[in-house]
Amino acid sequence: MSLSLLGSLEKALLAGLALGLIATIIDYIRMLKLRQKLPPGPFPLPLVGNHFQTPSIRPWIEWEKWTEYYNSPMITLWIGRHPRIILNDAWTASDLLEKKSDIFSSRPRLILMGDVINATKTNQTTLPYGDRWRVHRKLILMEVVNFVVPGVFIMETLPFLSKLPSWLYKFPSQLSFGAACMWRYFYLLTEEGAKASEDNFSKILMNSQEKSGLTDVEVGGLAGNLIGGGVDTTSSTMISCVLAMCAFPDVQRKAQAEIDSVISADRSPTWEDLDTKLPYIVALVKEVLRWRSVAILAGIPHANTKDVEYKGYHFPAGTNMIGNLWAIHRNPRDFPDPDVFRPERFLNGLERPYPNAKGSNPFGWGRRQCSGQPFAEQGLLYSLTRLIWAFDLKAGLDNNQGKEVKLDIFAYTESENMRPEPFKARFIPRSEKIHRLVMEEAAVAREALRKYDGETKLTMEDASRNPAWV
């Protein structure tokens, strides 16, 4: 290679670097100008923003501290070149996400949760607000995964990484392929389920595919959302209730006393007993949902469809808005002694003012609230009533001295969809008659469900032979 050619390449490289530096400086000036119009927060760096200042584990706890430090109900977190607004106050979140839900019902651009796994325009949870979302809304529940947590994944900070060739950076292509296999797997399960003789959701989905023009990816996503949104979150809330009953036995005794006053000793609770006859139990379920909200960031972020001015701040269209339920549901102004489990907060109306009639926001805000909220609330009320009626829930015993173990009410998983870490608990039937009733009803239920026996023979290997890309 001649010296003149080397010199030309060197000049071209230097020119490219200079242009890149100039573009970075111009973009950083844009960031700093926009920052002046946004809520306070840590100072961002060029290109990466606050990525390296954001904890990768349970960042919502740190965000709560930032709200105190900056004395602001909102904080701005820069993920790469774009701001995320963390809402740490119920009233502020209500002002924006509920009272302005006609504007704040869309979704921001999400790299991992959307683009890379082909969900941006195919999955109800990430679809922009509009007619396509309404079709999905009628069919399914909401699902949340850790990809939604801002500042955890470098690809959200530097989106260009998702476009790199696989030989240079494998993660995006691996994630994309895994998602395509998952969509196909859930589609195949839906096809299989639709062949059953009983009416089921799979039949509704397959019929809707033709009527509404849904793609295979959309059908697979809707089926996956049903499982992810309806099973995992409910079970996590139930485990939190068990923890609360073990840690706060006085509450358990009050709940059992109310149940005993309504339900005779020779039967178990029924749907007819709920709502109006057991107000303390209803309040207890609401307190579980507040005390340790499962979707701690209230689901997928919201985004505004047009520019918004609010309390002196300017939010450009498409601004990413996240509700931090860890801070909101533990605000001592709204919930004094927030880590104490006390159903009285919701008994006979709300104990303290709150921006909505329910008194909390475990299912999110506005038009993008979890689609399965009524189903989840009813299921929890029925299941937890029967659980507390049937058993004395107590902390487990240690292996050495036979004493009750000390339970940690803060020992929760790192996931955005959080649940208690494994803990020891005892389920003691409250009487021999109740024990007998539980066993008899279990036998009846087993027979009723026997028609659903059997397991699918489908595997992820089957799905990987024909991944669903569209």
**Taking the model in full, what pTM does it have?**
0.82
- Each residue's pLDDT expressed in tens, for the chain with a length of 470 residues: 565 666 667 777 777 788 888 888 888 999 999 999 999 999 999 988 898 888 888 999 999 999 999 999 999 999 888 899 999 999 999 999 988 888 876 676 665 555 555 555 555 555 555 544 444 444 443 343 455 566 666 777 777 777 778 778 787 777 788 778 888 888 898 888 888 888 888 888 888 888 888 888 888 888 887 776 667 788 899 999 999 999 999 999 999 999 999 998 789 999 888 877 899 999 999 999 999 999 888 877 888 889 999 999 999 998 988 999 999 999 999 999 999 999 999 998 899 999 999 999 999 888 777 777 888 889 999 999 999 999 999 999 988 888 999 999 999 998 888 899 999 999 999 999 999 999 999 999 999 888 878 788 888 788 888 888 76
> Do residues 114 and 145 touch, judged by C-beta distance below 8 A?
no
Give the CA distances from residue 251 to residues 236, 248, 329, in Å, rounded to whole numbers and listed in that order.
Answer: 20, 6, 19
Of the candidates 335, 338, 309, 325, the residue with the CA atom closest to the CA atom of residue 369: 325
Of the candidates 312, 352, 337, the residue with the CA atom closest to the CA atom of residue 90: 352
CA distance linking residue 47 with residue 319, whole number of Å? 17
Give the CA distances from residue 469 to residues 91, 178, 193, 212, 231, in Å, rounded to whole numbers and listed in that order.
Answer: 41, 11, 22, 19, 26
> Do residues 280 and 255 touch, judged by C-beta distance below 8 A?
yes
Give, for 79, the enclosing helix (H) or strand (E). Answer: strand 74-79
Of the candidates 149, 141, 168, the residue with the CA atom closest to the CA atom of residue 110: 149
> Do residues 155 and 172 touch, judged by C-beta distance below 8 A?
yes
Pairing of strands 82-87, 320-323: parallel
Residue 370 counted as an annotated binding residue: yes
Q: What one-character-per-residue DSSP string does 428-457 give? A: EES-HHHHHHHHHHHHHHHHHHGGG-----
CA distance linking residue 359 with residue 239, whole number of Å? 22
CATH number for region 11-464 = 1.10.630.10
Pairing of strands 308-310, 313-315: antiparallel
Nearby residues of 112 by Cβ (< 8 Å), 6 or more positions away: 147, 153, 155, 156, 162, 175
DSSP 8-state assignment for residue 31: H
